[in-house]
């Protein structure tokens, strides 16, 4: 069995071909309330054939990031390379040609209300100067691809939201792009329609090898179709990586969002741990193993199992008898087995026995643990947990 | 005056009004469209972002909009003479009518084009469209219902202006109403003129509405 490799930050494999490569993008807007930093040195590398999701609240800068890829918005500095061509240095005319190879879909569909479905899909082809007959053939192909052959003559106003987004997708694919940019494409749709659009995107990714970069504020989108994800806040990525890596990363904010358990109760004299299992680990009879090996009664306090696009993963909240120090060997064993284990965020911190934090590098160091069950200084990077722990220390 | 005398006068007046308004509308449509589009394109962050041009255009439009038409009528007399060679008659009236209506229509064009969602423009740019293609295939086309409605309003405003232009020798129905109806106390002529004007405006509005309905697919 291979253990997932724990890495402190997003690795950049050297041999992978990155269809989208954004390097150190910066963008500052002048606004009435002073300058606003939309991009604060963001770098992003998306390998070919991947679905990459950028999560963030509104105002985090994700929209600016996405629109930098086809230079709808020009960053103040940094480079944008798509399909091996550096766009940031191209003259206008060449840039237009490259844009035809980058599809984009929009939250509010952005269809031309004066044109029929077929006319909308034909638009990018008209722009390139494709002949009428060839255009009609290609439009028919594209509409079949998104399942809208029968609505070719309808106007956007006569379509449902899901159908409009399908038109948007067909239009985005007209230029046979290597890359599809999705700007909150499902945020204006109901849950059922969202599902069908996400399925279509995943299907296009598989069938056409289409690389998709999407921005969203919905975790569900990342869960359902993304191979990789990043969290964006105040113009920078606070975390990024392939989903499998993220799940194996101790203290990962993304993993906590992907597998939500909520706040934990306070159980004096007992230790609550959250263990994350993914991939092969998900098949492991973990509880039984713990019970056998350490002769402890493990109770399950809560849990969630998700079929993510990338992998099957779950997070279990276990209750172990005894305080944090007594359970340190168990925690160590779990971590050495490649199972990220951590203390959940508690509703009331004092009195709750805590698990020692994981030292840097993913290697547990039990010798550093104080004997009284208190927690050593926080070496990991998870802000939420560390704040909570500082709290514990001051109150204890 | 008998109706036999009034009918030919009405016919002639109506024709002169249609002639004046028609030619002014054609020139106004072109001029207003050009200025209106430029107003949108040259604004800060616009497709042709050029704020000095925007400022100057905006200023010219505002001056044109704030002058009462009757004053404009007199003020442009030297200009009219330079262009048409005379300051009296239907052709001469077309000059002030056009100058008065272009800023009016330009603002309407500006508003109609701004109604096109930014998203839709971005989608076109993302598809690789050039600025020219964005203007012709997206902005002007998507704004067509608004432009048609705006043109209808402009035509009707021109009918009103043309009545004033009539007083300086432009002819038309307004002139007829003033000369016969007002100055000669021919109440029948006055009433008949008003009725014809009301019917004319009604017809223009209905036609305009029809065109807007045809163009709109929202």
pLDDT tens by residue, B162-190: 988 877 777 888 888 888 888 888 888 88
User: CA B145 to CA B66: how far, in whole Å?
Assistant: 27
Neighbours of B81 (CB within 10 A): 14
Neighbours of B156 (CB within 10 A): 17
User: CA A52 to CA A208: how far, in whole Å?
Assistant: 16
Scan for tokens 């003129």, then name that residue: B193
Structure confidence at residue A396 (pLDDT):
34
Token pair of A33 as six digits: 């309330």
Chain mean position to CA A197: 17
| Contact of A244 with A2, CB cutoff 8 Å | no
| Contact of B187 with B195, CB cutoff 8 Å | no
Structure confidence at residue A346 (pLDDT):
62
Q: What is the ipTM of this complex?
A: 0.88
| Contact of A352 with A346, CB cutoff 8 Å | yes
Cβ-in-10-Å burial (0-12, 13-18, 19+) of A374 comes to middle
Scan for tokens 């500082």, then name that residue: A390
pTM: 0.83
Token pair of A338 as six digits: 């490649």
Structure confidence at residue A305 (pLDDT):
87
User: CA A57 to CA A187: how far, in whole Å?
Assistant: 12
Structure confidence at residue A27 (pLDDT):
96
Task: Sort out which chain A residues have CB atoms less than 8 A from B126's CB and list them.
Answer: 70, 72, 99, 102, 104, 181
Neighbours of A145 (CB within 10 A): 18
Q: From the candidates A70, A94, A111, A123, which should be mutated to test the interface with B, based on the most B CB atoms within 10 A?
A: A123
Structure confidence at residue A360 (pLDDT):
44
Q: Nearest 5 degrees, angle CA A282-CA A288-CA A293?
A: 115
Chain mean position to CA B90: 16
Structure confidence at residue A355 (pLDDT):
56
Whether pLDDT at B30 is above 80: yes
Å from A342 to nearest chain B CA?
A: 44
- In chain B, the residue whose alpha carbon lies closest to the alpha carbon of A126 is B129
Task: Sort out which chain B residues have CB atoms less than 8 A from A174's CB and list them.
Answer: 127
How many residues are given for chain A? 396
CB contact under 8 A, B128 and A124: yes
Q: Which helix (H) or strand (E) holds A299?
A: strand A299-307
Token pair of A368 as six digits: 């550093």
- Beta-carbon contacts of residue B184 (< 8 Å; ≥ 6 apart): none
- In chain B, the residue whose alpha carbon lies closest to the alpha carbon of A110 is B120
User: CA A376 to CA B2: how far, in whole Å?
Assistant: 111
| Contact of A50 with A211, CB cutoff 8 Å | yes
Whether pLDDT at B104 is above 60: yes
Scan for tokens 């890596």, then name that residue: A245
Query: Dihedral, CA atoms, A98, A100, A101, A106, nearest 10 degrees?
Result: 120
Structure confidence at residue A70 (pLDDT):
96
Structure confidence at residue B164 (pLDDT):
84
- pLDDT range class, residue B138, cuts 50, 70, 90: very high
Structure confidence at residue A90 (pLDDT):
96
**pLDDT under 70: residue ranges of chain A:** 1-16, 345-396
């Amino acid at each position: 069995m291979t253990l997932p490799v724990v890495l402190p930050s997003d690795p950049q494999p050297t041999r992978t071909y990155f269809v989208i490569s954004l390097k150190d993008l910066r963008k500052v807007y002048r606004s009435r309330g002073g300058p606003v930093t939309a991009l604060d040195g963001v770098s992003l590398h998306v390998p070919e054939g991947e679905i990459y999701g950028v999560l963030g609240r509104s105002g985090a800068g994700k929209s600016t990031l996405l629109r930098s890829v086809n230079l709808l918005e020009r960053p103040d500095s940094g480079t944008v390379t798509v399909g091996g061509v550096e766009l940031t240095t191209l003259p206008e005319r060449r840039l237009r040609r490259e844009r035809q190879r980058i599809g984009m879909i929009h939250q509010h569909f952005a269809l031309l209300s004066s044109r029929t479905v077929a006319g909308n899909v034909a638009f990018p082809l008209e722009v390139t100067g494709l002949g009428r007959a060839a255009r009609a053939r290609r439009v028919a192909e594209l509409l079949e691809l998104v399942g809208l052959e029968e609505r070719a003559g309808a106007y956007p106003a006569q379509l449902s939201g899901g159908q409009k987004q399908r038109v948007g997708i067909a239009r985005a694919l007209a230029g046979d792009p290597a890359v599809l940019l999705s700007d909150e494409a499902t945020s204006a749709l109901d849950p059922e329609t969202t599902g069908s659009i996400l399925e279509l995107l995943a299907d296009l990714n598989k069938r056409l090898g289409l690389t998709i970069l999407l921005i969203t504020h919905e975790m569900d989108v990342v869960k359902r179709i993304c191979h990789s994800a990043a969290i964006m806040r105040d113009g920078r990525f606070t975390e990024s990586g392939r989903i499998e890596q993220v799940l194996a990363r101790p203290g990962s904010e993304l993993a906590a969002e992907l597998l939500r358990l909520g706040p934990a109760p306070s159980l004096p004299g007992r230790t609550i741990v959250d263990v994350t299992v993914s991939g092969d680990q998900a098949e492991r009879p973990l509880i039984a193993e713990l019970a056998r090996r350490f002769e402890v009664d493990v109770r399950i306090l809560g849990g969630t199992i998700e079929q993510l696009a990338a992998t099957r993963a779950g997070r279990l909240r276990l209750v172990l008898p005894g305080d944090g120090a007594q359970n340190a060997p168990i925690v160590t064993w779990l971590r050495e087995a490649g199972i990220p284990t951590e203390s959940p965020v508690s509703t009331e911190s004092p009195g709750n026995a805590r698990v020692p934090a994981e030292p840097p590098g993913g290697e547990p160091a039990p010798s550093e643990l104080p004997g009284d069950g208190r927690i050593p200084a926080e070496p990991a990077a998870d802000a939420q947990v560390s704040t909570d722990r500082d709290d514990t220390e001051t109150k204890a | 005056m008998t109706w036999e005398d009034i009918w030919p006068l009405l016919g002639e007046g109506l024709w002169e009004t249609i002639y004046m308004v028609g030619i002014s509308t054609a020139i106004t449509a072109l001029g207003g469209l050009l200025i209106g589009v430029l107003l949108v394109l040259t604004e800060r962050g616009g497709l042709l972002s050029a704020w000095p041009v925007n400022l100057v255009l905006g200023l010219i439009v505002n001056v044109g909009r704030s002058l009462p038409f009757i004053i404009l009528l007199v003020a442009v007399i030297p200009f009219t003479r330079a262009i048409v060679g005379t300051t009296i008659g239907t052709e001469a009236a077309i000059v002030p009518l056009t100058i008065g209506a272009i800023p009016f229509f330009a603002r309407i064009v500006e508003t109609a084009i701004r109604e096109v969602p930014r998203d839709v423009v971005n989608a076109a740019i993302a598809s690789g469209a050039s600025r020219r293609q964005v203007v012709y295939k997206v902005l002007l086309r998507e704004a067509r219902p608004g432009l048609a409605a705006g043109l209808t309003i402009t035509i009707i405003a021109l009918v009103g202006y043309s009545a004033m232009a009539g007083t300086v020798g432009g002819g038309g129905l307004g002139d007829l109403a003033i000369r016969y109806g007002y100055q000669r106390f021919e109440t029948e002529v006055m009433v008949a003129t008003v009725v014809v004007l009301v019917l004319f405006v009604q017809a223009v509005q209905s036609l305009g509405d029809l065109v807007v309905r045809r163009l709109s697919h929202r």
